[in-house]
Amino acid sequence: MNKVLVVEDEGPMRRALGISLRARGYDVDLAESGAKGLELAARHHPDVVILDLGLPDIDGVDVARALRGWSSVPIIVLSARDAEAMKVEALDAGADDYVTKPFGMDELLARLRAALRRATPVEEAAVVATPDFSIDLAAKQVRRDGTEIRLTPTEWAVVEMLVRNRGKLVTQQQLLQQVWGPEYHKETHYLRFYISQIRRKLEPDPSRPHYFITEPGMGYRFVPTER
């Protein structure tokens, strides 16, 4: 049974999450504060953490940072619609994904399953295939309709980082720092340019991307699902 730790100060929300998750067979711990959440995480070693960012005692971003100090447990943050900057900060601090309030339980459960899947240590597939193209991470090769698509080294670096984190939101900061280096953390126009190049080469309809998804103001996500 997967253990979920929910850190949420709002009583009704916390209880609703507890009921829904238990009904789906999860073993649930509920914490009403950041301090309690950290304590339960250390004691029970959850498989995934659902973390509200607006907490009364410790900032949710700091809770994520504290968890990352000793644990690689997947963290899904819950945030208010107007808290974009905080979401980005939480993702940069090591959170894996986010859900914006108000959210549907189905959406949260889907994110939860995806986070647990990613956390399961399976042999990483070297080839990621979609109905339109395939990416061989070991050979650094992209093929579309049987033909090799040539990517520039920078395009490849962006594609590789997104594909290795498939399903997961990768922030602009993470991409810029990883691909270009720490001094480029503000150059988001680089990303817009390279992502549009990548879409032009790989997406069936580059103006309506299906695989390389923009999360406005936050980052990008590679979604390898079937159409």
Crossing angle of the two packed helices 84-92 and 60-68, in degrees rounded to 10: 10
**Which of the stretches 2-10, 57-65, 168-176, 189-197 binds Ca ion when contact is defined by CB under 5 A?**
2-10
Extract the tokens encoding 136: 């061989």
Contact call for residues 40 and 18 (beta carbons, < 8 A): no
Count Cα neighbours of 89 within 13 Å in the Cβ-side half-sphere: 13
First to last CA, the chain: 31
Kindly report the number of other CB atoms within 10 A of residue 49's CB atom: 27
Q: How far apart are CA 170 and CA 33, in angstroms?
A: 27
Binding mask 142-181 for Ca ion (x = CB under 5 A): ----------------------------------------
Distances in whole angstroms, Cα of residue 82 to Cα of each of 18, 62, 89, 143: 25, 19, 14, 40
Give the nearer residue to Ca ion in terms of CB position, either 14 or 168.
14
Is residue 224 at the binding interface for Ca ion, with CB under 5 A as the rule?
A: no
Mark 51-90 with x for binding to Ca ion (rule: CB under 5 A) and - for no binding. -x-x------------------------------------
At its nearest, how many Å lie between Ca ion and the CB of residue 56?
A: 8
Min separation Cβ 80 and Ca ion, Å: 8
- Which CB atom, from 10 or from 215, has the smaller least distance to Ca ion? 10
Q: Which of 9, 89, 92, 96 binds Ca ion (CB under 5 A)?
A: 9
Q: For residues 27 and 59, which CB has a smaller minimum distance to Ca ion in the complex? A: 59
The site map against Ca ion for 29-58 (x = CB under 5 A) is -----------------------x-x----
Tokens of 163: 């594909």
* Residue 45 identity (one-letter amino acid): H
Is the C-alpha dihedral spanning 34, 88, 113, 161 positive or negative?
negative
Residue closest to Ca ion, measured at CB: 54
Question: Which residue ranges make up the site for Ca ion (CB under 5 A)?
Answer: 9, 52, 54
